Structure 1
Amino acid sequence: MKMNVLKGALATTIILSLVAFTNAIEKKQVDVKESTIRWEGEKLTGSHEGTINLKEGFFLMENGELVGGEFTADMTSIDVTDLEGDSKEKLMGHLRSDDFFGVNNHETARFVINTVAKKGDVYGISGDLTIKGKTNPIAFDLKMNGNTATTNLTIDRTKYDVRYGSNSFFDNLGDKTIYDEFDLAINLKF
């Protein structure tokens, strides 16, 4: 009788070990040098665009399917790509100032995936985005193809205390109005 119980316990342990290893979560590091984050912000009289560097990031995969992840952007790397010379330097300085992203006190922005739902060829992602020390939930679709993940999303900057030039908070801005939302085009390699 004892032998049968021991054999049963051993068999259960082996099966549980195999299942645990089969469903192991794999951490896939993002190649920050090959990945890109492009931004575009609009104002009443036009738009500007540029880049932000990814500092670090990873996806969590289980059985080849996305289950989580975390990403940190280097806000000190904000660059403007549609201007040159003094105009470029002036806008980059303003974006890095406390009027916008306050990079002296908030060097990074962070996104943490909370839930993932597979929707055909894409994943529905929800998580928490932190910019300027303010955290808000955000949801978007992410397409994964091989070792590449891409998404386009729109962020309401005012939720992160980035209110400069917003007609939601200031009156009589006229043609100095800057729209509350900005767009990100993200291409991650891992």
Structure 2
Amino acid sequence: MKNTIKNLIIIAVVSVFTASFTTIDKEKKEVKTAESQVVWKGYKVTGSHEGTIAIKSGAFIFEDGKLTGGEFVIDMTTINSTDLQGEYKGKLDGHLKSDDFFGVENHPTASLVFTEVTASGKNSYNVTGDLTIKGKTNPVSFAVSIYGNKATATMKVDRTKYDVRYGSTSFFDNLKDKAIYDEFDLVADLEF
């Protein structure tokens, strides 16, 4: 009986000691902002516009080699169009930065924080996160694929949830061919 109790105590001490030194392999990998790109594309009745926007900072969080989290800050002051040139490019870029759209003077950054990540394949994940634009936060869902030190993600964003109402038929009547669709696309190619 004494040996049984002694053995149980030894097993308990060894278990506690082992557990205290066992850690989950958690790693934060910073995104290389200069090598990464986010492309946006907005749609209107008469066509579309597209451009880029810079990542100010970002990181993916991995546990035991699996994506488990992430957080990103977008520099809204860099939003620009790539499908126009000259005067028209200047007008659109200025309008996107104005209060009609993203109000970058008062809201120079946007952010995305992952809240849930589930594997959907060998290198792919379904992500839910909190997206903040113009000080308003809403949940978004999107897919992320990771290959080596690169990741790609595609997301649809409903701009009206972030008080970006200009040209939206959800808020204004009789826009006809001046209407701009509420959803725009973001495509991110990231290196870390």
The TM-score range, normalised by the shorter chain, is over 0.9
Superposed displacement of residue 17, structure 1: 3.4
Q: Alpha-carbon deviation of 1:10? A: 4.6
What is the SS of the residue equivalent to 1:75? strand
Structure 1 equivalent of residue 19 of structure 2: 16
Alignment match of 1:163 (pick from 152, 165, 177)? 165
For structure 1, which runs of at least 5 residues remain unmatched after alignment?
A: none
Using the TM superposition, give the Cα deviation of residue 73 of structure 1 relative to its aligned residue in structure 2, in angstroms. 0.4
Number of aligned positions between the proteins:
188
| Counterpart-to-counterpart distance in 1, 2:150 and 2:13 | 42
Query: Aligned residue for 2:88?
Result: 87
Task: Determine if the alignment matches structure 1 residue 181 to structure 2 residue 173.
Answer: no
Q: What is the rounded CA distance, in whole Å, between the counterparts of 2:27 and 2:20 in structure 1?
A: 16
In angstroms, what is the RMSD of aligned CA positions?
Answer: 1.6
What does residue 59 of structure 1 align with? 60
What is the CA deviation profile of residues 93-128 of structure 1, one whole-angstrom value per residue up to 9, with x for unaligned ones? 000000000000000110000011111131010010
Q: Which amino acid aligns with 1:34?
A: E
Q: Secondary structure at the match of 1:33?
A: helix
Q: In the TM superposition, what is the alpha-carbon distance from 1:53 to its structure 2 partner?
A: 0.1
CA offset digits 1:64-85 (Å, max 9, x no partner): 0011110010000001101111
Identity over aligned pairs, percent: 55
Tell me the distance in 2 between the aligned counterparts of 1:34 and 1:9. 50
How far did 1:175 drift? 1.0
Deviations 1:15-62, CA, capped at 9 Å, x for gaps: 113422xx1311111111111100011111111110000000111100
Structure 2: runs of 5 or more not aligned? none
SS at match of 2:187: strand
Q: Distance in 1 between matches of 2:128 and 2:52?
A: 23
TM-score, length basis structure 1: 0.93
Counterpart-to-counterpart distance in 1, 2:18 and 2:67: 25
Which of these two proteins has the greater Rg computed from alpha carbons? 2
Which range is displaced more, 124-133 or 7-16?
7-16
Question: What TM-score do the two structures reach when normalised by structure 2?
Answer: 0.92
Task: Supply the distance in 2 between the matched residues of 1:188 and 1:135 (Cα, whole angstroms).
Answer: 23
The Cα of 1:161 is off from its aligned counterpart by 0.3
Q: Does 1:128 align with 2:130?
A: yes
